[in-house]
Amino acid sequence: MAITLDSTAPDFDERFAAFLETKREVSEDVDKVVREIIARVREEGDAALVAYTNRLDRNDLTAATLRVGAEAFEEALAAADPATVEALELARDRIASHHKRQLPADDRYQDALGVELGSRWTAIESVGLYVPGGTASYPSSVLMNAVPAKVAGVERIVIAVPAPDGILNPLVLVAARLAGVTEVYRVGGAQAVAALAYGTETVAPVAKIVGPGNAYVAAAKRQVFGKVGIDMVAGPSEVLVIADGDNDPDWIAADLLAQAEHDTAAQSILITDDGGFGEAVAAAVDRQLKQLPRAETASASWRDYGAVIVVPELADAVRLADRIAPEHLELAFDAAEEVAAKVRNAGAIFIGRHTPEVIGDYVGGSNHVLPTARSARFSSGLSVLDFVKRTSILKLGTEQLRALGPAAIALAEAEGLGAHARSVAVRLNL
């Protein structure tokens, strides 16, 4: 059973602080193993990539069969349930149309001195998308990563997805196909990250690697960071639902469980101003757990990390929400819009009683790759901005150089950088 906290209790601050500090992830120390894997793939290329893949994924590939053939995409599409394909198409189109609004505008202007300044955005040339294998091999995540990259204008998008025991989720190929990605390799783990970062004979290197993965993938991304760009290192998922007593406890319980079923380390939190409602939701969670296919995962998550926090007024929840900085924040009460405007730290906000977070996982149009583990305090969900970069532009004529040059020389000299000073002075005959 999840913990219950009463915000008016004398020890609340202490208990809430301890709750925030609870570590939900065992941080495996895999750095050394990962370092070896990366070094070997760098040195030996395909030979190492194939050897690791066959050993770790119990697979039987050669350099020639690492890449998924063109026909496999068509086969997967033809074999898929049409309703699923249609839903993926709807998701793709809604993600594309929302993310198009995120394309940043170039800027170029002249200031009062006549200095021209600018910012110009261009797409990253090539991006690698890591897709986990096994049960967490989600076609929706393929869309959430690949579609924004496409919208940004990335020319080459490469998917690395392990095929443990030779099994690849066909819906991953369908999603790739619908997103317009045709370069997919059956590789995973640190060896896949190494291949994407440094390249092998078969896999050309990319400039940036995105997508979630296990501890090995996360450690490998950290290690290749700098050689290539990486996105955030994702932790287990979480939801904070703020709800009043006018909700159906069954609805809110279902939302808490949707998060909990992801992972035993996922976290579901309810804040309510109605203690009786909180108890009703907890009871509904227990009832629903009995019917869930992933009951084991969900019940471990709810038992170990779930929480019901009772506050005197829902408005008080804003302060707590900002400290929790949840990946997902659901606001299920009438004044949701006003409260949403006051929240600062949240990856995504789902407003009102008819916006379950699950809509955002699939077909809302916004991205489901969001900052976890309190990182909404300093980072954002995945967007088109993750697939573009900005070049700044500066242009002076003789007059502008005369106007700004002396100050640049003064600062260069103050910093002891004589050649800096000279590079301006020589042009001004100083």
Specify binding-site residues for substrate. Answer: 237, 259, 262, 328, 361, 415, 420
- Cβ-contact 177, 184 below 8 angstroms: no
Binding site residues for Zn(2+), as ranges? Answer: 259, 262, 361, 420
- Cβ-contact 177, 145 below 8 angstroms: no
Cα separation of 174 and 140, whole Å?
Answer: 10
- Cβ-contact 359, 373 below 8 angstroms: no
Binding site residues for NAD(+), as ranges? Answer: 130, 191, 214
Name the residue nearer to a copy of itself (CB basis): 312 or 397: 397
CB 109, min distance to a copy of itself, A: 8
- Nearest alpha carbon to residue 129 among 75, 85, 182, 79: 182
- Strand 267-272, strand 107-110: pairing: unpaired
User: Residue 407 corresponds to which tokens in the numbers above?
Assistant: 């100050």
Judging by beta carbons within 10 Å of its beta carbon (0-12, 13-18, 19+), is residue 320 exposed, middle or buried? buried
Cα separation of 291 and 221, whole Å?
Answer: 38
CB 62, min distance to a copy of itself, A: 27
Cα separation of 35 and 40, whole Å?
Answer: 9
Helix segments in 57-169, DSSP class H = 70-79, 82-100, 139-152
Name the residue nearer to a copy of itself (CB basis): 36 or 125: 125
CB 393, min distance to a copy of itself, A: 5
Cα separation of 306 and 6, whole Å?
Answer: 14
Binding site residues, as ranges? Answer: 130, 191, 214, 237, 259, 262, 328, 361, 415, 420
Name the residue nearer to a copy of itself (CB basis): 187 or 388: 388
CB 415, min distance to a copy of itself, A: 5
Name the residue nearer to a copy of itself (CB basis): 54 or 379: 379
Cα separation of 408 and 412, whole Å?
Answer: 6
Q: Which of 98, 99, 328, 368 is catalytic?
A: 328
- Cβ-contact 138, 88 below 8 angstroms: no
DSSP 26: -
Name the residue nearer to a copy of itself (CB basis): 51 or 119: 119
- Cβ-contact 145, 382 below 8 angstroms: yes
Name the residue nearer to a copy of itself (CB basis): 66 or 176: 176
Cβ neighbours of residue 104 under 8 Å, at least 6 residues apart?
121, 384, 385, 388, 390
Q: Is 9 helix (H, G, I), strand (E, B) or coil?
A: coil
CB 52, min distance to a copy of itself, A: 23
The neighbouring-strand residues paired with 268 are 239
Cα separation of 369 and 230, whole Å?
Answer: 14
Radius of gyration for the chain, computed over Cα atoms and rounded to the nearest angstrom: 25
Q: Which of 327, 330, 357, 368 is catalytic?
A: 327
CB 117, min distance to a copy of itself, A: 6
CB 247, min distance to a copy of itself, A: 11
Name the residue nearer to a copy of itself (CB basis): 74 or 106: 106
Known catalytic membership, residue 328: yes
**Residues labelled as active-site residues:** 327-328
